[in-house]
Amino acid sequence: MRLANYGLYRYRLPYARPVRWSDVVEEAAEFLLLRITCAQGLAGVAEMTIKPTWTGASLRSLVASLEDVFLPLLKKLDLCDPAAVRARLEGIPENHAAKALVDNAVWDLQAAARGGPLHRAWGGAPEVPLSFTVTRQTPARMVAEAVAMVERHGFKTLKIKGGQGLSTDVEAMHGLRHALGNGTRLYVDANGAYAPTEAGAYARAMADAGAEVVEDPCAFAPDATFTRLQAASPAPVLVDFYCASPRDMALYIAAGARAFSLKPGRLGLSDTRAMAALARASGCRTVVGMFGESALGTLAALQLSTTLPPGSLPAENSWFLAMTQQILVSPLVITQGSIRLPDAAGSAGLIDWNRLEPLT
């Protein structure tokens, strides 16, 4: 298969309320969609979340790197083997967002060529358990939102965004446990908010408050400091932002890491599949992490989640619920905390292209 044409589409999906991330407050989520079409008429699509502090790329810089570097390279390649395509992309340094976007679109094209979803080819089940991410608000509002989402969608696991100060994070965790009881699993993500000297005490406090894992309590690297942090924490330290490749993961495993977040929306399906295999071989827990995806990006991420072993945390990719609009023809439905993936040959045919146009 050879690339015949491509299209780039920017769109914004409003949030039901302002969302406070660790670095910014947003009224809407912004995305770039890539559609690639091969000479046989098959299409593959993928989206990238536009957040420079997450990806290192703005909309303009991402479009420029795609059109000036990666799409011209893609025209020279046989698209039948996504892993081989990704290996060629790695000949260009950095540009992680562009590589992930192209990688995921090529995998979606592979699904179209196979005539069925990726999870079927990979031996995964179509029913996927999910968690919901409760972002930073006052503890009372976090509790109210968590209770509402559990009651409405049946979530049995919640990811709690920390980083508001130790006392506030502890208050939120205690409030959630009191409101939800012991039937809901909780874990916390501090987004590297605390100093390395504070991280050990923070991890212990979160574990004491009921956190099953503690994600990115501080900025770290796969070194002796991380080894001491993990050894001192009662709960696994979930490694996310500071691990950006299979090579990084191998270094963290050597340093004693026990749990990893895998984000196809950030790193691409090729690398996260390799990371999932490495984690499995090393006995590490994994979760498919949230990257601010819309419903479209959720479908790509959950293909990977279907392949993770028992004991993995439920996938975090339910963030599309925070948005008031989507670009798919049919909504994704979460029942009893799980979603059933459509039996579709890729995602291009699931998009309402007429609905997308006014959002661009």
What is the domain-level CATH number for residue 177?
3.20.20.120
Q: Are residues 50 and 111 in the same domain?
A: yes
- Which CA distances in Å does 351 have to 110, 186, 220, 357? 17, 33, 39, 11
CB atoms inside a 10 Å sphere around CB 358: 8
Q: Are residues 76 and 174 in the same domain?
A: no
Q: How do residues 184-213 score in pLDDT, each as one tens digit? A: 999 999 999 999 999 999 999 999 999 999
Q: Are residues 132 and 113 in the same domain?
A: no
* 269-282: average pLDDT: 98
Q: Are residues 109 and 204 in the same domain?
A: no
Residues 6+ apart with CB under 8 A from 72: none
To the nearest 10°, the Cα dihedral for 321, 325, 331, 333?
A: 10
Cα 200 from Cα 218, distance rounded (Å): 9
Q: Are residues 291 and 164 in the same domain?
A: yes
Residue 15, pLDDT score: 97
Give the structural domain span for 261.
121-347
Question: Token digits for 206?
Answer: 């979160």
The CATH number for 43's domain is: 3.30.390.10
Phi-psi region at 311: left, alpha or beta (left = phi > 0; alpha = psi -120 to 50): left
pTM score: 0.96
Q: How do residues 66-103 score in pLDDT, each as one tens digit? A: 999 999 999 999 999 999 999 999 999 999 999 999 99
Q: Are residues 114 and 180 in the same domain?
A: no
Mean pLDDT of the chain: 97
Q: Are residues 303 and 355 in the same domain?
A: no
Q: How do residues 110-133 score in pLDDT, each as one tens digit? A: 999 999 999 999 999 999 999 999
Residue 358, pLDDT score: 75
Beta strands in the chain (DSSP E): 3-20, 25-38, 43-49, 127-129, 132-134, 157-161, 185-189, 211-215, 237-239, 259-262, 285-288, 334-335, 338-340
* 260-271: average pLDDT: 98
For the chain, what is the domain count? 2
Q: Are residues 249 and 271 in the same domain?
A: yes
pLDDT band, residue 229 (cuts 50/70/90) = very high
CB atoms inside a 10 Å sphere around CB 179: 14
Q: Are residues 237 and 292 in the same domain?
A: yes
Residue 24, pLDDT score: 87
Residues 302 and 333 sit within 8 Å (Cβ to Cβ): no
* 350-354: average pLDDT: 95
Residue 23, pLDDT score: 84
Q: Are residues 242 and 95 in the same domain?
A: no
Q: Which residue has the tokens 């044409």?
A: 5
Instruction: Tell me how long the chain is.
Output: 360
Comparing CA positions, the residue from 238, 220, 351 lying closest to residue 288 is 238
Q: Are residues 98 and 138 in the same domain?
A: no
Q: Are residues 106 and 132 in the same domain?
A: no
